Structures are given as structure tokens and as C-alpha cells.
A and B are shown apart, each in its own frame.
Chain A
Amino acid sequence: MEKNINLTLKIWRQAGPKVKGEFETYKLDNVSTDNSFLEMLDILNEKLVKERKEPIAFDHDCREGICGMCSLFINGHPHGLDGETTTCQLHIRRFHNGQTITIEPWRSAAFPVIKDLMVDRGAFDKIIQAGGYVSVNTGGVPDGNAIPISKVFADEAMDAASCIGCGACAATCKNGSAMLFVAAKVSQLALLPQGKVEAAHRAKAMVAKMDELGFGNCTNTGACEAECPKAISISHIARLNREFLSAKFKD
């Protein structure tokens, strides 16, 4: 395989939330295939700065696939076509010489564009603030080994908890639903005895907040699971529905 390739980039540029955006095309030559996707954007930005042009704004931070800050629709897929990968872990070796790459921000009513490829995902924080926690204060808690937890449940809770809150699920859903994100948190905490106590209240509060913030409904298309960079299973949505229904029955 060639070590350096030439690319054509069609990138969404939008000066601000209220301004109309459009695609701009950039040629970028001689990109090392060892570079990550975001390093490729760094190179482009460095070039734009040299040409005294405005660089492209995009979100990123840890560049290790864990902080959930990077986003981007790449050729129509959130975080690109590679399975179980965040944009920062996607590498240029996955593309070929001469390829055109289309890069867009998350498109979701609940995630308005801030600038270019940067969006506001504050809605996810608000959903967690509505109930995505166990109500314990610091101090006065029992010993960590006081309540044994089945390894099976602990492992399943861990799988749910590996959500990085990037928003790919909601951005890819044709209904703009945040069900997978909400379900991952509800499921993690419902699986553990510490979280079980308030499971019903949590499910109701988080779902109500999700609806309030303009996220759509779930119609089980499964796109969220397919595109999730952490492979969070939609079986968690089933658990959320059970928790939610049982909470409603108790009302």
C-alpha cells in the first residue's frame, strides 16, 4: 500500500448557529497513511493558517477514543465506516489515493451546530442531570465488598457504562432518538444493587427530560447499535423499556 496519498475533502463550513452553511472542497496531497483522521484535519488546518484562511473548527480532545468529544459524519457514517471506532482512532490507511471524503457535523435537532463541524451536545448533560446517578453523598457509604455483585451483572453493567456520550447514536437515528444513550445509563445502574433502589424514578426522569429536549422516539431500527463506537447493545433499550413500563404501572 502507498505510504502517502492524495485526498479531496468536502467539508461543511458554517460560521455560526444561525448562519447558513455550505460544503467547501479542499485538496490535500501527500498525507501519510499512518496519520489519524484528525491529524489529517490538523494538516489541512495548518495549511489553511499558512494561506491566512480561517481553519476548520472541530471537536476533539483525548485522541484515544475515550473522551467522546470527537464526532463527524464521514462519508455518511458517524465516526466513519470502521466498526467500533471513534473518529480520532480512524486512520488514513482506511482510505485510498484520490478518494473524496465528505465530512459533516452531527445532524440532529437536539445538537445545534456551533461552528463548522462543532456541535452543542449539552442536551446529554441535561439528561444525566435529570437522574443519571445514584443519590449518594460523599462519605458514610458501606464497604465496597459489603454487597457482593454477580460477575455477570457487573460485567454487563460495565458494557453499558462504556458509553462515551459522543452522540453518534442520536445523530445517526432517523428519528433523532437518544434512547441508546439513556438506556445505557439506566441499564448500568439498574443492574447494580446500588442503583436498583431508584431505578424506576431514574427511568422516568431521564426519559421525560429526553422528550423535553426534542429527541425523537425509538422505532427499533437498530442504526444506533450499528454505529455506536463502543458497540453498546440495543438490548439495553429493552431493559430501559421494562424499567419505564414497570414505573408507569406503579403510578
Chain B
Amino acid sequence: MAKKQESTAVEATKIDARIPEGVLAEKWSNYKAHQKLVNPSNKRRLDIIVVGTGLAGSSAAASMAELGFNVLNFCIQDSPRRAHSIAAQGGINAAKNYQNDGDSVYRLFYDTIKGGDYRAREANVYRLAEVSNGIIDQCVAQGVPFAREYGGLLDNRSFGGAQVSRTFYAKGQTGQQLLLGAYSALSRQVGKGAVKLFSRYEMLDVVIIDGRARGIIARNLVSGKIERFFAHAVVVGSGGYGNTFFLSTNAMTSNASAAVQMYKKGAYISNPAYCQIHPTCIPVHGETQSKLTLMSESLRNDGRIWVPKLKEDAEAIRAGKKKATDLKEDERDYYLERRYPAFGNLVPRDVASRAAKERCDAGYGVGNTGLAVYLDFSSSIERLGENTIRARYGNLFQMYEKIVDENPYKMPMMIYPAIHYTMGGVWVDYELQTSVKGLFCIGEANFSDHGANRLGASALMQGLADGYFVLPYTIQNYLADQIQVPRLSTDLPEFDQAEKGIRAKIEKIMKIQGDTSVDSIHRELGLIMWDFVGMGRNKAGLETALEKIKAVRHEFWTKVYVPGVSTDLNVELEKALRMADFIEIGELIARDALMREESCGGHFREEYQTPDGEALRNDEEFSFASCWKFNGEGEEPELLKEALDYEFVHRQQRNYKA
């Protein structure tokens, strides 16, 4: 049933993703049937480090401990339950087809590939769709209180980029409930002693011995002590790098440091330019703002997005002379419904974000800054009643009112796009192993399944797929060859050297004693990223960004001021260490965006668009995943390419109009 292979002009390279042979639907079954396993008595003798306790990290740590491995789990917050997966609101996708609306594993696979603008690996995405149903069953068994119908069966809602209702949800707190489910499974293993938990610890380096990952160096954030940990394999699920932009919907400690550490030890960073800008966030209020707040995509089920049809009205609203509710129906431009009749307000995130920017840039934006559009519930409230809307989105409306001080039941919400998720990340093969042996990467931290744009409710699906159902299998294929390796001493020279490197870096930062705070440098980097590497990118802007990032790097390493001492709890030092890595990843994002001379998904190069402003891909030359290889400090990284040959899906211009 395999169709003709659609190859590209991309030169074949050394990058091998180790995708199993066979037709798409059978690859994962074949893999599992033939992979190597570790027998129970050997599992006890093998240690696995898992960094991160989000959906991917905690589900992986719990599942591998259940199998019998000895797991060490590291958490940057005071408890695994705080990981930022907890903030995901809308839901999790699965191909259950409970609604009888035509869903299937293939359709979920196809929607995800298309949503990712044909820049994801077919085999990974198909596997993701295949295991999606098991995730729902697993979570129900853990006691996750998903929303239910009166008959007692699970309820679903719709999300962007799909024409079926396949999203399972728990009010507007789905991420919280799924994370608490994984956290409970993890806690059960901690209670049993199968997982050793290290809270308030931050990974500072990965230790490589004879070409294999054999441990990490981590800092105890309370005591400031630097400690060494050995393991037969290291798994990193440390989340995305959205905070490079300073203002994002990520949590305050979300960072890119683990990714940069892996990169500097030989793991490739793939597609860093693919950053997701979420269309429905609460607009920026001022210069002292610390972060942005997302309003769930699920709101687009019942909310209609619009701006005034006339510029004069937009100007009057910005000046405070008119209110949204003063404009009559025919004075409003429901621009998503106008431009994309088939998907309307439920177009994918990248499309919705760009459309909002287009209207605001053209002078139709609202709010006092002009950088906002309306998300209006009045017609849904009229149709369904305020109580129904309250039951569906009550907590989101409450959150909006607290932040903006306006009642969204009476006045339309104001929203604007913001950085939310990063599709790019550490390159992994089909087994979720990086280009360093024994080093695995899961969840948002890896680049695997979303291509150039992630669909709503797919991040939770991918994090849990990796942790519950993929890694616990694939890591055994690696560990089966490691059963003869004893627990190594952390006094080995490789550990010494890694720790020495970290100590030198910390000392260097502490000694600068300049006059600029970490946050003010971070804010500067964020503005450069948003202005030149944000929603609309072009060659000149990206070149400017690269120059400016260089200046920020210089400023950081000569002017930063970190108070206190490094041998104690020191929040400013933690931030400074993360900041140094945000600069590195920021540069890689700009570099990748400059290299990719096409538009696809979340990466929009203004030079490459269709006459009506849609992203214009160049499959001939750019159908590949970029893999950036570190070549030493101060050196240009090398670009390697993993060719993306589509065997099963026919690539086409994404169309959400008809």
C-alpha cells in the first residue's frame, strides 16, 4: 500500500533516524516484536536518570520504575507536580472515534502531519496516533476526572486543525489533571523506593564516558552544592525553549539549558526556528510584565474573533472613545471566518496568529496599544446561555477578569499572539535517542512529532506517548547491551572534568560584578527575538538579530551582576546560568530561520508567501530537518540534514479555506 516515494533534492546525509522497515501501520508493531528487551533480574541492576517531571518525565520515570529499573528523577521545582505541563488548559487528542464522526488513527496521523506543514517524520507521527488511545485509557485508570456526558461516557470537544471532535478534557485544567495522574504514578514508585526523587535540583551538564551518556552533574538549588550522579542511560524531558523570548506563556523556570548542555556534548539541535506563537494570549500590558497568560484554544469553539471593519472605529476604540459593544454586527470583520470559511475560527494556531498580526499591522488592532483583537462570546451566550459558557470555560473567564479587570461575559476578550511552545528541539531518532549514545530526549524538549507547527491538544498527547508507551520500550533496546556495565564511580576523570567546567563557568559569572541585572539583559534578548525572529521573519531582520544577539552575549559576559555567593541558595545565579544558554539557543533560532528560505508552519519568512499571504513551502530544497552540530565555543555550528521523504502522504499546500 506504500505510495510512490516523494523524494526531494535534499542531498542524502549521514543522519539516520533508524526508522523500522515495513508499511506505515506496521512499523511500530514490527519494532516492538523484534526489539531487544532486558530481563527482570538485569533491570534491577540498571540505573536510569530522568531529568524533568512534566508529563513526559514523570510518566517515563514511573513507567520505567514499574518495569523494574532503578530510576533517579530530577525536578527543578519543589515538587514534581509543579512542572509546567500543569498549565496546559484545553485538552488531549486521541483517535478513539467515540463521537462516530469519522475519526481514525490514520486521520489523526494525517491531521498532525498536515498541521505540521509536512515537516515531521511520518513514522513517528503515525506511532503517536497509534498510542494515543492507550493514553486516555491509562489516565482514566489512574482516576483522572475527564469530563463526561450524562450517560457516564467520556465527552469530547473540537480543536484547531481538525474536523472531528477528538479532544478529551477536564474543564480548562486538562494539563493539571494529566500531570497529577502521572505524578501520582510517580509518587507511588517513590513510595516504593523504585524512584529516587531529587527536588530543587538543576542539571548543569551531561557526563559522557567512552562516547556514551553515563550521568549528570546537578546543582542542589537549596544548598548550592554541585553533585555528581551516575546512570547507565540519561533521559532528558526538560521542556521547550520558549523563554528565549523573555515574554512567553512558559513558566518562570522553564529554560533551554539542558538542551544546550546536550548540544555541546554532541547532540544535534533540530529545527530551532520552529517556534509556536499561540493566537489567544492576553495582550502585553507594560514593560514590567514578567510573563504572558494563555487563553485556551478551546475558547475558539465558542468565541468568534474579530476587529472593526473600519479603521476609524479601530482608532476610536484605541483612543477610548468607543467600546467593542458599540459596533454593530455589520461593522465587525470576522476575518478568520471571512478568509477560511471551512475552518473559520478553528484554523491552526500559526494561521490564526499571522492573521491577527496582519490585521493589527494594517491598523485595525484594538486595545490601547493597538496590538489586540477581540474574542467575542456574545453570540454563543445568546445561543447557549451564560450558564453553559460558564460551565465550559468558567475558570478561564475568571482568570481573564483577574488579569485584565474586565468582565468577558459582557465585553469581548482582547487577545494577541504570544510565544507558547517550541516544536524544534534536541534531535532524536525513532527510538527517541539523541545523536549521543545512551542519551534520550522526550516531550517538548525533543523535536520529533509536530513538524513546523503543533496542533492544539497534541502536546499532552506527545509528552505522555513518549513517557508511557514509547521510551519504556525503546530504551530497553539500548540497555540490553549495557547489562555488563557495572555502576561506575563518579570519581572518574570524566565526572571530574565536567564538574570542573561548571565550576569555572560559575566562577566566571560571579566575578563579572557588573551593573546590569540578568532580567534586564533577558528582556533585551526577548525584544530582539520578538521583533526580528518572531511571527514575521526576513533575511535582513534575521541578520540584524544575529548581530544584536552577539552584542547581548558581550553585554552579559562583561556587565552582568550576580549578588551573593555560589555556595548557597542564589536565584540570581540560577537565572544567570540559564541566561547564558538562552543566548546560545537564541542565536541558533535566528541562524536556523535565516537558513530556511521558505515559509512553513510557525516559521514565516516574509519573502516566501503566496499572493494571499499564506506560507509558501519549498519542498524541493527544504524538505529536511535541520540538525545543528556544535563545533566548539566561538565556532560556527555545522548544518547536517535529515531528509524527510514522504512515502505515504502526498504533500500539498495546506488549505483551510475549503
- Residues of A at under 8 Å CB distance from B? 32, 34-36, 38-39, 42-43, 46, 49-50, 52-55, 57, 59-69, 82, 84-85, 89-91, 93, 114-115, 118, 120-122, 124-125, 128-139, 141-145, 147-151, 154-155, 157-158, 161-162, 164-165, 188-189, 192, 194-195
Nearest CB of chain A from residue B183's CB, rounded to whole Å: 7
Interchain CB contact under 8 A, A63 and B78: no
Nearest CB of chain B from residue A142's CB, rounded to whole Å: 7
In the complex, residue of chain B having the shortest beta-carbon distance to the beta carbon of A114: B222
Nearest CB of chain B from residue A188's CB, rounded to whole Å: 7
Nearest CB of chain A from residue B526's CB, rounded to whole Å: 14
| Complex partner residue of A36 from B59, B78, B191, B290, CB under 8 angstroms | B290
What CA separation (Å) do A60 and B253 show in the bound complex?
9
Interchain CB contact under 8 A, A84 and B143: no
Q: Which of B253-290 contact A (CB under 8 A)?
A: 253, 285-286, 288-290
Q: For residue B79, which residues in chain A have a CB less than 8 angstroms away from its CB?
A: 121-122, 124-125, 165
B87-109 toward A: CB 8 Å interface, digit per residue (1/0)? Answer: 10000000010100000000000
Q: List 26 A-B contacts (CB under 8 A).
A: A32-B285, A34-B285, A52-B561, A52-B563, A65-B402, A66-B176, A67-B81, A67-B84, A67-B87, A67-B251, A85-B402, A93-B405, A121-B79, A125-B197, A130-B191, A132-B187, A134-B142, A134-B143, A135-B188, A138-B62, A139-B138, A145-B154, A148-B148, A151-B149, A192-B145, A195-B143
Known contacts A36-B290, A46-B517, A61-B82; A144/B77 CB under 8 A: no
Q: A54-B563, A69-B78 are in contact. List 20 more A-B contacts (CB 8 A).
A: A46-B517, A46-B519, A49-B517, A52-B561, A61-B77, A61-B251, A84-B398, A89-B402, A128-B184, A134-B141, A136-B142, A137-B63, A138-B63, A139-B138, A144-B96, A144-B136, A150-B148, A151-B152, A155-B145, A162-B171
In the complex, residue of chain A having the shortest beta-carbon distance to the beta carbon of B515: A50
Interchain CB contact under 8 A, A60 and B252: yes
| Complex partner residue of A62 from B96, B146, B171, B251, CB under 8 angstroms | B251
Nearest CB of chain A from residue B634's CB, rounded to whole Å: 29
What CA separation (Å) do A197 and B235 show in the bound complex?
34
B565-607 toward A: CB 8 Å interface, digit per residue (1/0)? Answer: 0000101100000000000000000000000000000000000
**B293 touches A (CB below 8 Å):** yes
Known contacts A67-B77, A69-B78, A93-B405; A57/B143 CB under 8 A: no
Q: For residue A149, which residues in chain B have a CB less than 8 angstroms away from its CB?
A: 148, 152
What CA separation (Å) do A135 and B77 show in the bound complex?
25
Known contacts A53-B563, A55-B563, A122-B79; A141/B66 CB under 8 A: no
Known contacts A114-B222, A157-B145; A129/B187 CB under 8 A: yes
| Complex partner residue of B82 from A68, A129, A137, A161, CB under 8 angstroms | A68
What CA separation (Å) do A178 and B207 show in the bound complex?
41
Q: For residue A55, which residues in chain B have a CB less than 8 angstroms away from its CB?
A: 563, 571-572
- Residues of B at under 8 Å CB distance from A? 59, 62-63, 66, 77-84, 86-87, 96, 98, 134, 136-154, 170-171, 173, 175-177, 180, 183-185, 187-188, 190-191, 197, 199, 222, 249, 251-253, 285-286, 288-291, 293-294, 398-399, 402-403, 405, 468-469, 472, 515, 517, 519-520, 561, 563-564, 569, 571-572
Interchain CB contact under 8 A, A67 and B86: yes
Interchain CB contact under 8 A, A162 and B184: no
Interchain CB contact under 8 A, B290 and A63: yes
| Complex partner residue of A162 from B80, B141, B173, CB under 8 angstroms | B173
| Complex partner residue of B170 from A122, A129, A158, CB under 8 angstroms | A158
What CA separation (Å) do A44 and B468 show in the bound complex?
43
Q: For residue A164, which residues in chain B have a CB less than 8 angstroms away from its CB?
A: 176
In the complex, residue of chain B having the shortest beta-carbon distance to the beta carbon of A56: B571
Q: For residue A34, which residues in chain B have a CB less than 8 angstroms away from its CB?
A: 285-286
Q: For residue A133, which residues in chain B have a CB less than 8 angstroms away from its CB?
A: 142-143, 184-185, 187-188
In the complex, residue of chain B having the shortest beta-carbon distance to the beta carbon of A67: B82
What CA separation (Å) do A149 and B180 show in the bound complex?
20
Interchain CB contact under 8 A, B176 and A162: yes
| Complex partner residue of A161 from B80, B180, B293, B519, CB under 8 angstroms | B180
Interchain CB contact under 8 A, A129 and B188: yes
Interchain CB contact under 8 A, B286 and A194: no
Known contacts A64-B293, A67-B87; A144/B180 CB under 8 A: no
Interchain CB contact under 8 A, B141 and A136: yes
- SS of A interface (majority): loop
What CA separation (Å) do A240 and B572 show in the bound complex?
43
Smallest CB-CB A-B distances: 9 pairs: A148-B152, A133-B184, A141-B141, A129-B191, A158-B145, A157-B145, A138-B63, A144-B140, A154-B148
What CA separation (Å) do A177 and B100 show in the bound complex?
48
Q: For residue B251, which residues in chain A have a CB less than 8 angstroms away from its CB?
A: 61-63, 67
What CA separation (Å) do A138 and B58 show in the bound complex?
12
Most buried by A among B82, B137, B144, B171: B82
Interchain CB contact under 8 A, B564 and A54: yes
What CA separation (Å) do A170 and B502 show in the bound complex?
39
Q: For residue A130, which residues in chain B have a CB less than 8 angstroms away from its CB?
A: 191
Q: For residue A115, which residues in chain B have a CB less than 8 angstroms away from its CB?
A: 569
| Complex partner residue of A141 from B140, B147, B183, B290, CB under 8 angstroms | B140
What CA separation (Å) do A238 and B398 show in the bound complex?
28
What CA separation (Å) do A195 and B148 show in the bound complex?
17
Interchain CB contact under 8 A, B199 and A125: yes
What CA separation (Å) do A113 and B222 show in the bound complex?
11
Q: For residue A151, which residues in chain B have a CB less than 8 angstroms away from its CB?
A: 148-150, 152
Known contacts A134-B142, A192-B143; A61/B253 CB under 8 A: yes
Interchain CB contact under 8 A, B398 and A138: no
What CA separation (Å) do A146 and B171 show in the bound complex?
21
What CA separation (Å) do A134 and B141 show in the bound complex?
8
| Complex partner residue of A158 from B87, B140, B151, B171, CB under 8 angstroms | B171
Interchain CB contact under 8 A, B78 and A59: yes
Q: For residue A65, which residues in chain B have a CB less than 8 angstroms away from its CB?
A: 399, 402
Q: For residue A142, which residues in chain B have a CB less than 8 angstroms away from its CB?
A: 137, 141
Nearest CB of chain A from residue B621's CB, rounded to whole Å: 40
What CA separation (Å) do A61 and B253 show in the bound complex?
6
What CA separation (Å) do A52 and B562 show in the bound complex?
9
What CA separation (Å) do A67 and B82 show in the bound complex?
5
Q: For residue B148, which residues in chain A have a CB less than 8 angstroms away from its CB?
A: 148-151, 154-155
Nearest CB of chain A from residue B35's CB, rounded to whole Å: 16
Interchain CB contact under 8 A, A66 and B78: no
Nearest CB of chain A from residue B413's CB, rounded to whole Å: 16
Q: For residue B80, which residues in chain A have a CB less than 8 angstroms away from its CB?
A: 125
What CA separation (Å) do A131 and B66 show in the bound complex?
16
Interchain CB contact under 8 A, B290 and A39: yes
Nearest CB of chain B from residue A148's CB, rounded to whole Å: 3
Q: For residue A118, which residues in chain B have a CB less than 8 angstroms away from its CB?
A: 569
In the complex, residue of chain B having the shortest beta-carbon distance to the beta carbon of A185: B184
Q: For residue A64, which residues in chain B have a CB less than 8 angstroms away from its CB?
A: 87, 249, 293-294, 399
What CA separation (Å) do A65 and B87 show in the bound complex?
9
| Complex partner residue of B154 from A42, A114, A144, A189, CB under 8 angstroms | A144
What CA separation (Å) do A157 and B403 show in the bound complex?
28
What CA separation (Å) do A194 and B141 show in the bound complex?
6
Nearest CB of chain A from residue B607's CB, rounded to whole Å: 36
What CA separation (Å) do A81 and B188 show in the bound complex?
36
